Amino acid sequence: MIRYEHAIACWKELLGTTCVITDPVVCDEKTASCLPDSHSARAIIRPCSASQIPEVCRIANDNGIAIYPVSRGRNWGYGSAAPSAENLVLLDLAELNKIVELNTELAYAVIEPGVTQGQLYQYLTDNNIPLCFDVSGAPPGASLLGNVLERGYGQTPYSDHFLFSCAMEVVLANGEIVRTGFGHYENAKAQYLYKWGLGPFLDGLFTQSNFGIVTKVCIWLMPKPEYFGVFHFAVRDTEHLCTVMERLRTLRLEGTFRSAVHLGNDIRVLSALQQYPWEEAEGKVPISDALKSRLLRQWGAAPWNCAGGLRGDKREVQARLRRIRRVLKGVARVHFMSDSVLSKLAPFAPLYQRLFGVDVRQKLAIFGLMKGIPTERPTQGVYWRKREKSRTKDFNPPADRCGVIWCAPIFPLTAEDTRQVVSTVERVCEKFHFEPNMSLNLVTPRAACAVIGIFFDKEIEEERELANACHKELLDTLIASGYFPYRMSSQAADQFPQLFSSDDPYWDTCRRIKQVLDPRGIFSPGRYGL
């Protein structure tokens, strides 16, 4: 039996009336996303302590009310805080923002869902803790735990966020609290130090799913390196890129790179540096080759721009850099900027650009990411196709009606697959009058992730439709060619039914597990087709 009013009353009693919001204006505001279409919520509940979550779940379960938990909702272009279906109650976990433990000796942090990248960075800086962590390209205000659950990644040796986490605390639909790894043994000394625990490893169930609410996780931190620097080089066209990718695979497989390596195309770089050149383009989209070339020269960017971080002992970094140059000999001219050069350079960005024709602002932001410094710059690209220049003060793209859909297929690290993915993206984006905006990230030694951004102005009805159609055709084409996305937006499951077929024993098994863990389906119905 569904008893909405009763559930609201119970939550008000549990959390206090101010923490249960039913005003539709506030609900719409909070669930505004950058996607062309997304669902709003019928109410928002905002617990202020993890200890309230089991009772929050029991109320939902007892009254048959589906809830949609979000950590911070800053995954713009993947759904923000927009629920996976209409009429859900948004469970906003932003107030659960405690850094529960920070262990300097063993290099880990235990965090709640509301802890942001910026917050942890600030905490480490303020307390002079000689540790750093892998940040994602999401803004400083994005949740760390949320990104672990979506299996996001960054650019350091701890790139894979789910991998470098352990010991989840999960609240099930019935209010039961499951602790994973060794965490369910009260006195386990290695609970935050060893991922798998004893017996079946369950953590994976709670990523990209709707089987429970994760209220705590441990993420592993890295010692600040003795020496850090970034190698980078320009790639002139797709054929050159294909050759480069094969060489990078060699370096990645042999372990010379221990970090993800990042290749941004021209539009990715430009969109992080400026808005669309509406005037020069006389209002026309997509950008012409001539205009793009002019802007590239102006900013000192190349058709593809490769960069990766190197960290360690100075001699070791130098040895690895030498190896990189050896493997890329005759293919690319590899530059290197050490950390000290980078920090001295920052104030002289304009001068540097005049002298060497290279814009360092964008580079410095990307380089910062590789070191573990959260930055807004990569996400600033979402303003690319906005007509207005005005922005809200607090950098709020959904409120500014920026449009973005991310599409992130995984492909083998070969020349042939690189060629096919890049040409598919270019062809489909251009067909729908969008600039192909993408980066390729060497997330594993064998596979890369292409992150394609379809940027549009959400104010314009026609662009919303085009963006949807472009995304649909792009992902359908990629899937048909064998390139599957590593994650999906909260709104995407319905659009790609071929990914979640019930005839597939994999999804059938997932659904049977869902049935046993959340029999009334109160968590995020429809997320990942579940």
Smallest distance, a copy of itself to C-beta of residue 229, A: 14
Residue 392 φ/ψ region, left for φ over 0, alpha for ψ in the -120 to 50 degree band, beta for the rest: beta
- Output 380 or 441, the one with its CB closest to a copy of itself: 441
The least distance separating a copy of itself from the CB of residue 412, rounded to whole angstroms, comes to 5
- Collapsing DSSP to helix, strand or coil, 408 comes out as coil
CB of 303 to a copy of itself, least distance (A): 25
The string of DSSP letters for 340-396 reads HHHHHHGGGHHHHHHHHS--HHHHHHHHHHHHT---SHHHHGGGTT-S-----TT--
295 and 273 in contact (C-beta within 8 Å)? no
Shortest distance, position 487 Cβ to a copy of itself, whole Å = 7
Pairing of strands 67-70, 88-92: parallel
Q: Report which residue type is found at 128.
A: N
Nearer to a copy of itself, 182 or 384 (CB): 182
Q: What are phi and psi of 94, to 5 degrees?
A: -55, -30
**Least CB distance to a copy of itself at residue 439 (A):** 17
What is the residue-wise DSSP string for 8-26? HHHHHHHH-GGGEE--HHH
CB-based contacts of 467, cutoff 8 Å, min separation 6? 36, 403, 405, 432, 434, 454, 456
Q: Find, among 86, 37, 29, 75, the residue nearest to 463 by Cα.
A: 37
Which of 11/162 has CB closer to a copy of itself?
Answer: 162
Distance between CA atoms of 201 and 345, rounded to whole angstroms? 47
User: Between 356 and 484, whose beta carbon lies closer to a copy of itself?
Assistant: 484
Question: Quick one: 168 or 273, whose CB is closer to a copy of itself?
Answer: 168
**Which amino acid appears at position 87 of this protein?**
N
Closer to a copy of itself by Cβ: residue 240 or 487:
487
The minimum distance between CB 170 and a copy of itself, in angstroms, equals 9
Quick check: 8 and 43 in contact, CB under 8 A? yes
Residue (316 or 465) nearer to a copy of itself, CB: 316
Shortest distance in whole angstroms from residue 217 CB to a copy of itself: 15
Judged by beta carbon, residue 137 or residue 183, the one nearer a copy of itself is 183
Residue nearer to a copy of itself on the CB measure, 41 or 450: 450
- State residue 128 phi and psi, 5-degree precision: 55, 40
Nearest 5°: the CA angle 83, 88, 92 is 65
Q: How near is the Cβ of 148 to a copy of itself at its closest, in Å? A: 12
Minimum distance from residue 523 beta carbon to a copy of itself (Å): 12
Q: Cite the beta strand spans of 221-303 per DSSP E.
A: 222-223, 227-235, 262-265
